A and B are shown apart, each in its own frame.
Chain A
Amino acid sequence: MSRKGFAYLCLTAVAFFSAFPLYYSIVVASRHNSALAEVPPPLLPGGNFFENVSRVFDTVPFWLALANSVIVAGGIALSVMFLSTLAGFAFAKLRFRGRNAMLLITVGTMMVPAQLGIIPLYMLMVKIEWTGSLYALIVPSLVNAFGVFFMTQFLSRALPTELLEAGRVDGATTWGLFWHVVIPTARPAAAVLGMLTFMTAWNDYFWPLVVLTPENPTVQVALSTLASGYTNDYVLGLAGTAVGTLPLVLIFTLLGKQIIGGIMQGAVKG
C-alpha cells in the first residue's frame, strides 16, 4: 500500500473512533432501556429521542441549567475577550517598567495546578456568601493567563506599531488607541479566544460541582445528577448528554477550522 493510502486508512480509523462514542450516545438516547439488553446491541437510532429528552426536563431543572450555563459561559467569554485584549495590548505594544517580568509571571501561572487551592477558594466563597451563586463561577474566571498570552502573541504580530504612533501624533490617549485601533485589529483572534473560552466554561465540571447546589445547577452539574442518581437508566443520562453537549459539538464542527487554527497558533509557544 502506498504511504498516502496508509495515512488515509489510519486517519479514517481515528475519525471513526472519535465519532463513534458520540454517535452511539445518540443511538442509546433515542431508544428504550429495554432495547439495550438486545444482542447484538442496537447500532441504529430509534424513535424515542424526544420522549427521553422530555423525561430529562422532568427529572432535573434542565431549563434552568441551560440558562445558567449560557449566562456563565457567555459572561466569561465576553469578559475574557475584553480583558485579555486589553492586557495583550499592554504587553505587546506599550512600554513600561517590569513588562517582561510580568509577562513571564503570567505565563508561569499557567503551570500552577489550580485544583490545589480549591479548598480555601471554597472557604472564601462561603465567607463572602457566594456558594450556590453564579458569581462564584464567573468572577474567578473573568480573565486568565492563556487568554492574555494568546492576545499578546497575536497583537505583537498583527498590530502595526506605526499605526499606534500615528494615533499618538494625532493626540489619541492610550484608551482611545485601544478602542479605535486595537479592538478592530484584535477581532478575529478575540473571536477564536471567545469560542475556546465559551467551550471550556460550558464544559467545566469540578468547580461548579463543588460550589453550586443541585437545585441551581449548570448543565454539567445537572448531567452528573442524572447520571449518578439514575444509574440503571442509561437512556436518561445519555439523552441529557445529547441535549447538553451535542449542540456545542455541532457548533464546533461548523466553526472548527477557525478554532483549530487558534489552538495551533497558541501552541507554537513551545
Chain B
Amino acid sequence: MTTRAPEVMRAVKSEPGRHRPKGRLSHSLDMKASPYAYVAPFFLLFCAFGLFPLIYTAWVSLHEWTLTSDEHTFIGLDNFSTLFGDDYFWNATFNTLSIGIISTVPQLVLAIWLAHLLNRPLKAQTFFRITMLVPNVTSVVAVVVIFSQLFGRDYGVINWVIGLVGVEPIAWHEGTASSHVAISVMIMWRWTGYNALIFLAAMQAVPKELYEAATIDGASSFKQLRKITIPMIKPTIIFVVIVSTIGAMQIMAEPLLFGQTSGGGVASGGPDRQFQTLSLYVYEVGFTSFDFGYASAASWVMFLFVLIAAGINYLLTRRMGGALK
C-alpha cells in the first residue's frame, strides 16, 4: 500500500511540460531513499552512542577490566557474585529506593493537585506557570549549591526558620534520614512544577461537560478531581510515574554535589555513605577507582532494578486508577 503513492506521483510528475524534468531513475531514487536518509542521523547516533555502549557494558562486565591495565581477563560472572556480597552496593540500593520514594511520591501528588488548581479560569495563569517552571530551568549544580547553603547547619536559613518554632538545628547532611529529606527537597523543588504542567496539559483535554454535570450534581472540587480528572488523565499519570521512576532510580548529581559542598570531596555520598545512590556508586567505582568491569556489572544490575521498579509502579498506577472508577 505504501508503495502505491510514489507511483502515482511519478505518473503525475512525468507529464510533459513541467519544468526541471528529471530522469525517472533519479526521481524514484529520491522517493525511495530520501525518507531513510532523513531519519538516518538519529538512528546512526543512537546506535553509536546509545545502543553500542549499553551492549558493550554487558561485555565489559564479564571481565576484569581497569583503565590502567591493557589486559582484560575474562572472569565470567565473578563481578556479579562479588557485587551481590558487597555491602556498599546494597547500602546504595537502599538509599536509592529511600530517596526515590521520599522525592517522587509527594512530588507527584503535589503536582496533580497544583495542576488541578491551575485548571480553572484564573488571572495571571502565565505568571503562575512560569514561576512554577523556573526551578526546572535552574541547573542541578546551581540547585545543590543553593540548597546546601539553605540547609547549612550553622548559618542556613532553614535551620533558622525551624529554630523560630523551637527546633534544634539539624545537621542535614550527617544523618541518613535528614540527608535523604534534604536531597528529596532539592529534587522536588526542581521537578514538581514541570510535572504539574504535564498533568495540566492532560487535564485541559478532559471534556468540560463532565465537570459541568458534576457541579450541577453538587460534587465538590476535590471530589471532581478524584472521580473525574484522575481517571480521565490516567494514561498521562502512568507515563509520568514511569518516567519519574526511571529518573529516580538514576539520581546521582544531587548526592554527588551535596557530598562535595558539605566537604566530602569524593563520590562516597557522605562520610558514612549515608546518601550514596546506585548511580553514584557506579560513578565512584568507574571514575574514581577506574574499575570498569565491576562498575559495568553494577550498571547492569541497576538496569534490572530500573526495569523492576518501573514495572511495579506501572502495575500499581494502573490498579490505583482502576479502583477509583
Binding site for B on A (CB under 8 A): 3-4, 7-8, 10-11, 14-15, 17-19, 21-22, 24-25, 28, 36-37, 39-41, 83, 86-87, 89-91, 94-97, 99, 102, 106, 109, 111-124, 126, 139-140, 142-145, 148, 165, 168-171, 173-175, 178, 199, 202-203, 205-206, 210, 219-220, 223-224, 227-228, 231, 234, 237-238, 240-241, 244-245, 248-249, 252-253, 256-257, 259-260, 263-265, 267-270
Contacts and interface: CB of A to CB of B under 8 A. Distances in A.
Main secondary structure of the interface of A (DSSP, over half): helix
Contacts of B265: 228
Q: Which 6 A-B pairs have the closest CB atoms?
A: A117-B53, A228-B260, A203-B139, A140-B49, A264-B201, A256-B130
A169 B12 contact: yes
Nearest to A242: B142
Interface string B9-36: 1001100001111100001001110111
Contacts of A173: 22, 27, 30, 34
Contacts of A10: 114, 117
Contact of B131 (A15, A25, A168, A263): A15
Contacts of A240: 145
For B48, B132, B242, B292, the residue with the greatest tally of chain A CB atoms inside 10 Å of its CB is B132
B201 to A, nearest CB: 4
B211 interface: no
Nearest to B40: A87
Given A11-B122, A169-B13, A223-B139, 11 more contacts: A7-B117, A8-B122, A18-B134, A21-B135, A94-B34, A117-B57, A120-B52, A238-B145, A238-B146, A241-B145, A245-B139
Interface string B273-295: 00000010011001100001001
B202 interface: yes
Contacts of A19: 131, 134
Contacts of B46: 109, 145
Interface string B171-203: 000000000000000000100011001101110
Main secondary structure of the interface of B (DSSP, over half): helix
Contacts of A245: 138-139, 141-142
B137 A199 contact: yes
Contacts of A24: 146, 149-150, 157
B246 interface: yes
B1 to A, nearest CB: 9
Nearest to B118: A11
A265 B296 contact: no
A117 B122 contact: no
A117 B202 contact: no
A228 B259 CA distance: 9
Nearest to B204: A264
A168 B12 contact: yes
A113 B303 contact: yes
A120 B57 contact: yes
A168 to B, nearest CB: 5
Nearest to A115: B250
Contact of A121 (B49, B249, B257): B49
A260 B41 contact: no
A91 B39 contact: yes
A119 B134 contact: no
B31 A4 contact: no
A248 B137 contact: yes
Given A15-B132, A109-B50, A257 B146 contact: no
A90 B33 CA distance: 11
Nearest to B220: A3
12 contacts: A4-B120, A8-B122, A14-B131, A19-B131, A22-B146, A116-B302, A171-B18, A171-B20, A174-B35, A203-B137, A248-B137, A253-B134
A241 B145 CA distance: 8
Contact of B189 (A21, A122, A126): A21
Nearest to A84: B42
A22 B134 contact: yes
Interface in B101-150: 114, 117-118, 120, 122, 126-135, 137-150
Contacts of B143: 21
Nearest to B15: A169
B261 interface: yes
Contacts of A112: 50, 54
B230 to A, nearest CB: 14
Given A228-B257, A257-B130, A268-B202, A174 B145 contact: no
B235 interface: yes
A234 B149 contact: yes
Contacts of A223: 139, 141-142, 145
Contacts of A83: 41-42
B189 A17 contact: yes
A206 B142 contact: no
A40 B50 contact: no
B6 interface: yes
Given A142-B45, A148-B42, A168-B12, A205 B140 contact: yes
